[in-house]
């Protein structure tokens, strides 16, 4: 039977190749994701290991809790005097202070813009030159900076920006922009690309000054005397350290830093795997369809095998062996193609300025075993139903003339389909409305979507007729008999058309969902900005997320025409509300915030804000409801340094999209002094009434350009545009990844068309005999392809819209409001139609090559 299966595959090479291609793409995405993860993980391990190569023990500020990857640094640093204390510990050979700060500086180009991609990019790190053996840099050109007007740059950045030793480079920091002379170019470790990050090295005093840490250091690196182990030494040092500092061995520190950043990158892995899963799922549809058609076409062959004495198990084995072999071959090819996916993702990230750090592609066991299993299981799983159908072929059917009956969906099948749709909707609803975190919602949403899509695909057979008429009638009106034939052809076997178009439905549904969701998010942020922001300008980092220097507020406040500058700051803290939860605590300036922001008070008024005392807080009302906090309560906050700060809740306001307040807001001074928040997230600026807005804006721009080039002032409209651009960039990435699953579904359309054309060879020959031209035959097939694609696209658009509406409804409490981009959806439908026509081109060419002679052939 196995040999028979192999022959079967070989005799249907084209079909096998098309099917294999569909599985291959999904598998390639799975394999590529694992390879990417392996490579990036290894690169980070290498980077941090090299950075800490000469460090036995390192002393760092101690955070009372892990602030995670996405919260900004609080700016906590160690006092310089600690260096002496560490040096005096027995077993310390050498101790050196260092600055290592990734949020304070911006390296500027000749136009005063931050180097790297516009609108943000990888971190730019300010460091101090360290003595041997701690120094991870090797000076390949020039030498280390020796004066406070010199800087050293890492070799990769220097290459990219074409820096020459001796030239001037402007770098802005806590005190504004300053010009430095490039004293040398240093290679970090063995020269591994750092994922686009740049290093600027200064003398220690200059590094302290530019990062706003005069008299402070970020860490103290220690070399152990011979005979003292790093573990032993770190225990001894810890004994003398104050509460806000801790000592770790260099190896521990490297492992932890690497783990932290890998953790941050794991979202990317999950993200990519979700899309890989979608492609595999779409591929499964295609396999199911191909095997269904093949089994139907081979009914006579199976019946003949049964008459020759084959058991139904042997028939099952024939189909299964074919699926197994297809799965193995396609998965193996997919793993190889995974390298291509790695290149695609790496290229996409490079295009938007985030180079993924790599020290060579790492092919882990995971990246071979997982995709292999996924590919084979998906293939076999999809072949089960058609294979079982093959076993039901009776010997009698070998004798029947027209063995390819168009089966009507049975009553049972319809009920199963309805049950699937219902359970799918329930699972999606549970995922959306009944879970508290994205992590726990994801499996439910995934399962729900799979059930929903399979159910709809099974039901789609009944939708095909009206939809084919809806799509096909205009074509028929315009193009006459070829359109008529095309429409009727899609109705010959509605369940086949349904499954084929369902594959495309999935891609279109997800695209429409993403488009609607993104439009809703954009609108929500825009609306909230309109409602909340009452000032004239927002000053924020050019990258959109990094903090800015508090000096900016002071200096902008002196600009002619500016009346109010209100600083927005904040710090991470653990909030005690029965459960302990980490949150970002906002720091607002009570004296000025009400002049530039419209606060939506639930309990209290602007006077509550103006009179906010140092240990008083205002809560975001939704957050307060969720956490059982009400006005009058006292909430205990724990800072990153471990200090407990009890605050008294005196007011409550609604901030739908958490523009100003996520959970609690404290007076700016409290955030500065007790939470050590040194930098600002943004400044809100209000002009003097009657001031010339344009002129004042220009003056602010000029000040920022001259003194603080990493900051940028935007008016409300520009700020909204920027938020929208950010969302659209993410949307574009999602579209690219979904495009892969759409391509898979187009293979499905091609495959089905090729198979049905094969079935209709004699009929097409006859059409030629009665006068149909080649181009008429081609047109007929292309229209059939178009109609099939449009059926999938229309159902998909409705399903995607439905899911998006549900998702927006679920996130209503987070401030999301629905916006439906109708033009965008129409574009999606048009693109799907074009894709359908493109998918039809090649099958149409094949069909047009059928000769009249074939209509005359006696079987």
Partner 1 sequence: MADEDVASPDGAATGDGAVACRDLSRRFGEGGAAVDALRGVTLEFPKGHLTAIVGPSGSGKSTLMHLRAGLDKPTAGQAWIDGVEVTGLDDKGLTELRRGKLGFIFQFFNLVPVLDAAENVELPVRIAGKDVDPAWRDRLIEAIGLTDRATHRPSELSGGQQQRVAIARALISRPAVIFADEPTGNLDSKSGGEVLGLLRRSVDEFGQTVIMVTHDPKVAAYADRVIVLADGEVAADREVSGEDDVIALMRDL
Token pair belonging to 489: 């052809």
Interaction pattern, residues 490-509, with partner 1; x per rule: CB under 8 A: -xx-----------------
Under rule CB under 8 A, residue 37 binds partner 1? no
Q: How far is the CB of 838 from partner 1 (least distance, A)?
A: 24
What number of CA atoms fall less than 13 Å from residue 183's CA on the CB side?
16
Q: Return the bridge partners of 583, or none.
A: 573
If the CB atoms of residues 189 and 461 are measured against partner 1, the closer one turns out to be 461
Q: How far is the CB of 487 from partner 1 (least distance, A)?
A: 9
167 Cβ partners below 8 Å, 6+ apart? 181, 182
Under rule CB under 8 A, residue 851 binds partner 1? yes
Q: How far is the CB of 789 from partner 1 (least distance, A)?
A: 20
Q: How far is the CB of 491 from partner 1 (least distance, A)?
A: 7
Q: How far is the CB of 779 from partner 1 (least distance, A)?
A: 11
If the CB atoms of residues 165 and 491 are measured against partner 1, the closer one turns out to be 491
Pairwise CA distance, residues 152 & 156, whole Å? 12
Under rule CB under 8 A, residue 423 binds partner 1? no
Pairwise CA distance, residues 19 & 751, whole Å? 8
Q: How far is the CB of 486 from partner 1 (least distance, A)?
A: 10
Under rule CB under 8 A, residue 654 binds partner 1? no
Under rule CB under 8 A, residue 399 binds partner 1? no
Q: Return the bridge partners of 170, or none.
A: 108, 179
Which regions of 234-324 does DSSP assign to beta strands (E)? 245-249
**Which one of 766, 806, 811, 820 is in contact with partner 1 (CB under 8 A)?**
766
Residue 781: which of 423, 555, 482 has the closest Cα? 482
Name the CA dihedral angle for 710, 349, 365, 363, rounded to a multiple of 10 degrees. -100
Stretch that binds partner 1, among 222-230, 391-399, 525-533, 768-776 (CB under 8 A): 768-776
**Which one of 10, 308, 478, 770 is in contact with partner 1 (CB under 8 A)?**
770
> Helix crossing, 438-479 with 411-433: angle to 10°?
130
Q: Give whole-number Cα distances, 525 to 47, 349, 657, 682, in Å.
A: 38, 26, 6, 16
Which regions of 483-578 does DSSP assign to beta strands (E)? 537-541, 562-577
Stretch that binds partner 1, among 42-50, 117-125, 355-363, 773-781 (CB under 8 A): 773-781
If the CB atoms of residues 498 and 645 are measured against partner 1, the closer one turns out to be 498
Under rule CB under 8 A, residue 699 binds partner 1? no
Q: Where are the alpha helices (DSSP H) in 143-249?
A: 155-161, 204-210, 230-240
Under rule CB under 8 A, residue 858 binds partner 1? yes
**Which one of 148, 763, 805, 845 is in contact with partner 1 (CB under 8 A)?**
763
**Which one of 767, 807, 816, 825 is in contact with partner 1 (CB under 8 A)?**
767
Q: How far is the CB of 490 from partner 1 (least distance, A)?
A: 10
Pairwise CA distance, residues 117 & 160, whole Å? 12
Q: How far is the CB of 839 from partner 1 (least distance, A)?
A: 21
Q: How far is the CB of 482 from partner 1 (least distance, A)?
A: 8
CB 620 within 8 A of CB 664: yes
If the CB atoms of residues 336 and 856 are measured against partner 1, the closer one turns out to be 856
**Which one of 1, 361, 837, 855 is in contact with partner 1 (CB under 8 A)?**
855
**Which one of 774, 798, 817, 837 is in contact with partner 1 (CB under 8 A)?**
774
Work out the burial of residue 638: count CB atoms within 10 Å of its CB; fewer than 13 is exposed, 13-18 middle, 19 or more buried.
middle
If the CB atoms of residues 85 and 484 are measured against partner 1, the closer one turns out to be 484
If the CB atoms of residues 490 and 670 are measured against partner 1, the closer one turns out to be 490
Under rule CB under 8 A, residue 776 binds partner 1? yes
CB 195 within 8 A of CB 116: no
If the CB atoms of residues 728 and 761 are measured against partner 1, the closer one turns out to be 761
Residue 561: which of 433, 697, 431 has the closest Cα? 697
Which positions from 67 through 106 interact with partner 1, judged by CB under 8 A? none
Q: How far is the CB of 756 from partner 1 (least distance, A)?
A: 12
Stretch that binds partner 1, among 154-162, 226-234, 499-507, 849-857 (CB under 8 A): 849-857
- Give the other-Cβ count within 10 Å of 563's Cβ: 17
Helix, coil or strand: residue 637: strand
Work out the burial of residue 311: count CB atoms within 10 Å of its CB; fewer than 13 is exposed, 13-18 middle, 19 or more buried.
exposed
Token pair belonging to 172: 């802005």
Pairwise CA distance, residues 607 & 615, whole Å? 16
Phi, psi of 635 (to 5 degrees): -115, 140
If the CB atoms of residues 272 and 485 are measured against partner 1, the closer one turns out to be 485
Size of site (CB under 8 A) for partner 1? 27
Under rule CB under 8 A, residue 365 binds partner 1? no
Q: How far is the CB of 774 from partner 1 (least distance, A)?
A: 6
Q: Give whole-number Cα distances, 839 to 288, 711, 784, 786, in Å.
A: 19, 49, 10, 8
**Which one of 227, 632, 689, 771 is in contact with partner 1 (CB under 8 A)?**
771
If the CB atoms of residues 738 and 764 are measured against partner 1, the closer one turns out to be 764
Phi, psi of 540 (to 5 degrees): -145, 170
9 Cβ partners below 8 Å, 6+ apart? 16, 322, 325, 326
Q: Give whole-number Cα distances, 776 to 469, 768, 848, in Å.
A: 20, 9, 8
Q: For the residues of 494-517, what is the DSSP string, one character each?
A: HHHHHHHHHHHHHHHHHHHHHHHH
Is the link from the previous residue into 718 a cis peptide, with omega within 30 of 0?
no
If the CB atoms of residues 328 and 491 are measured against partner 1, the closer one turns out to be 491
**Which one of 86, 596, 772, 793 is in contact with partner 1 (CB under 8 A)?**
772
Stretch that binds partner 1, among 60-68, 150-158, 675-683, 758-766 (CB under 8 A): 758-766
If the CB atoms of residues 33 and 489 are measured against partner 1, the closer one turns out to be 489
If the CB atoms of residues 519 and 772 are measured against partner 1, the closer one turns out to be 772
Pairwise CA distance, residues 829 & 835, whole Å? 10
- Give the other-Cβ count within 10 Å of 422's Cβ: 13
Q: How far is the CB of 766 from partner 1 (least distance, A)?
A: 4
Q: How far is the CB of 853 from partner 1 (least distance, A)?
A: 5
Pairwise CA distance, residues 138 & 126, whole Å? 17
Dihedral sign computed on CA atoms, order 363, 365, 369, 370: negative
CB 759 within 8 A of CB 404: yes
Q: How far is the CB of 414 from partner 1 (least distance, A)?
A: 24
The C-alpha angle with vertex 717 and arms to 712 and 718, in degrees rounded to 5, equals 30
CB 627 within 8 A of CB 574: no
Q: How far is the CB of 417 from partner 1 (least distance, A)?
A: 25
Under rule CB under 8 A, residue 852 binds partner 1? yes
Under rule CB under 8 A, residue 853 binds partner 1? yes
Q: How far is the CB of 380 from partner 1 (least distance, A)?
A: 34
Which regions of 546-642 does DSSP assign to beta strands (E)? 562-577, 579-588, 600-603, 616-620, 634-638
**Which one of 762, 802, 805, 817 is in contact with partner 1 (CB under 8 A)?**
762
If the CB atoms of residues 7 and 477 are measured against partner 1, the closer one turns out to be 477
Q: How far is the CB of 859 from partner 1 (least distance, A)?
A: 8
Which positions from 460 through 489 interact with partner 1, judged by CB under 8 A? 480-481, 484-485, 488-489
Q: How far is the CB of 303 from partner 1 (least distance, A)?
A: 20
Interface residue list for partner 1 (CB under 8 A): 480-481, 484-485, 488-489, 491-492, 762-763, 765-774, 776, 851-853, 855-856, 858
């Amino acid at each position: 039977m196995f040999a028979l299966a192999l022959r079967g595959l070989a005799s249907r090479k084209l079909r096998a190749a098309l099917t294999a291609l569909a599985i291959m793409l999904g598998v390639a995405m799975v394999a590529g994701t694992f390879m990417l993860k392996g490579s990036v993980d290894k690169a980070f391990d290498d980077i941090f290991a090299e950075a800490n190569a000469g460090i036995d023990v390192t002393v760092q500020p101690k955070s009372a809790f892990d602030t995670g990857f996405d919260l900004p640094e609080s700016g906590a640093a160690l006092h310089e005097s600690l260096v002496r204390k560490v040096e005096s510990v027995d077993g310390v050979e050498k101790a050196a202070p260092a600055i290592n700060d990734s949020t304070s500086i911006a390296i500027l180009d000749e136009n005063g813009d931050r180097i790297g991609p516009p609108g943000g990019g990888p971190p730019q790190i300010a460091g101090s030159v360290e003595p041997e053996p701690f120094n991870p840099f090797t000076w390949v050109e020039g030498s280390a900076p020796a004066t406070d007007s010199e800087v050293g740059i890492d070799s990769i950045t220097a290459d990219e920006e074409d820096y020459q030793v001796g030239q001037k480079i402007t770098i802005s920091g806590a005190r504004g922009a300053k010009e430095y002379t490039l004293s040398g170019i240093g290679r970090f470790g063995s020269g591994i690309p750092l994922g686009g990050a740049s290093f600027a090295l200064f003398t220690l005093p200059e590094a302290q000054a530019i990062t706003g840490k005069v008299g402070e250091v970020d860490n103290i690196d220690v070399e152990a005397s011979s005979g003292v182990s790093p573990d032993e030494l770190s225990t001894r040092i810890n004994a003398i350290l104050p509460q806000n500092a801790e000592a770790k061995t260099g190896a521990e520190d490297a492992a932890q830093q690497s783990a932290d950043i890998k953790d941050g990158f794991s979202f990317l892995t999950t993200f990519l795997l979700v899309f890989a899963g979608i492609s595999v799922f779409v591929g499964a549809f295609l396999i199911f369809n191909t095997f269904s058609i093949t089994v139907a076409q081979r009914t006579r062959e199976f019946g003949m095998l049964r008459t020759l004495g084959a058991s139904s198990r042997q028939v099952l084995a024939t189909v299964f062996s074919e699926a197994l072999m297809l799965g193995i071959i396609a998965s193996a090819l997919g793993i190889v193609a995974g390298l291509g996916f790695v290149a695609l993702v790496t290229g996409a990230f490079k295009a938007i300025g985030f180079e993924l750090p790599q020290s060579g592609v790492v092919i882990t066991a995971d990246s071979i075993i997982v995709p292999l299993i996924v590919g084979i299981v998906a293939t076999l799983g999809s072949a089960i139903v058609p294979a079982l159908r093959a076993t039901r072929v009776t010997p009698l059917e070998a004798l029947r003339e027209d063995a390819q009956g168009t089966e009507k969906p049975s009553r049972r099948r319809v009920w199963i389909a309805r049950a699937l749709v219902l359970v799918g909707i329930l699972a999606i609803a549970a995922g959306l409305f009944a879970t508290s975190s994205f992590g726990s919602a994801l499996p439910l949403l995934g399962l729900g979507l799979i059930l929903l899509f399979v159910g709809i695909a099974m039901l789609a057979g009944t939708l095909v007729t009206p939809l084919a008429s809806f799509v096909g009638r205009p074509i028929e009106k315009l193009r006459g008999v070829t359109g008529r034939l095309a429409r009727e052809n899609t109705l010959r076997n509605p369940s086949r058309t349904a499954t084929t178009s369902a594959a495309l439905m999935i891609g279109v549904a997800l695209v429409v969902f993403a488009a609607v969701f993104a439009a809703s998010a954009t609108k929500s942020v825009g609306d909230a900005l309109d409602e909340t922001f009452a000032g004239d300008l927002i000053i924020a980092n050019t990258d959109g997320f990094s903090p800015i220097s508090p000096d900016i507020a002071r200096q902008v406040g002196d600009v002619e025409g500016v009346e109010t500058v209100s600083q927005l700051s904040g710090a991470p803290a653990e909030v005690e509300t029965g459960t302990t939860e980490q949150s970002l605590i906002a720091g607002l300036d009570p004296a000025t915030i009400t002049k530039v922001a419209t606060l939506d008070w639930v309990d209290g008024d602007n006077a509550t804000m103006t009179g906010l005392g140092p240990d008083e807080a205002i809560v975001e009302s939704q957050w307060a409801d969720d956490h059982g906090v009400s006005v009058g309560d006292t909430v205990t906050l724990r800072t990153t340094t471990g200090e407990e700060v009890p605050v008294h809740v005196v007011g409550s306001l609604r901030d739908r999209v958490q523009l100003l307040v996520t959970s609690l807001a404290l007076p700016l001074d409290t955030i500065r002094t007790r939470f050590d928040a040194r930098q600002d997230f943004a400044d809100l600026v209000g002009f003097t009434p009657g001031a010339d807005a344009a002129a004042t804006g220009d003056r602010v721009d000029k000040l920022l350009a001259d003194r603080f080039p990493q900051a940028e002032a935007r008016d409300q409209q520009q700020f909204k545009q920027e938020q929208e651009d950010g969302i659209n960039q993410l949307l574009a990435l999602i579209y690219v990844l979904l495009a892969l699953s759409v391509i898979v579904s187009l293979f499905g359309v091609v495959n089905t068309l090729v198979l049905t054309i094969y079935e209709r060879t004699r009929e097409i020959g006859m059409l030629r005999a009665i006068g149909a031209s080649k181009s008429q035959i081609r047109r007929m097939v292309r229209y059939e392809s178009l109609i099939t694609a449009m059926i999938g696209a229309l159902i998909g658009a409705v399903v995607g819209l439905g899911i998006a509406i549900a998702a927006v409804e679920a996130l209503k409490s987070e401030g999301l409001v629905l916006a439906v981009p109708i033009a965008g959806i129409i574009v999606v439908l048009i693109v799907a139609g074009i894709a359908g026509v493109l998918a039809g081109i090649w099958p149409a060419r094949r069909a047009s090559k059928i000769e009249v002679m074939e209509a005359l052939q006696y079987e």
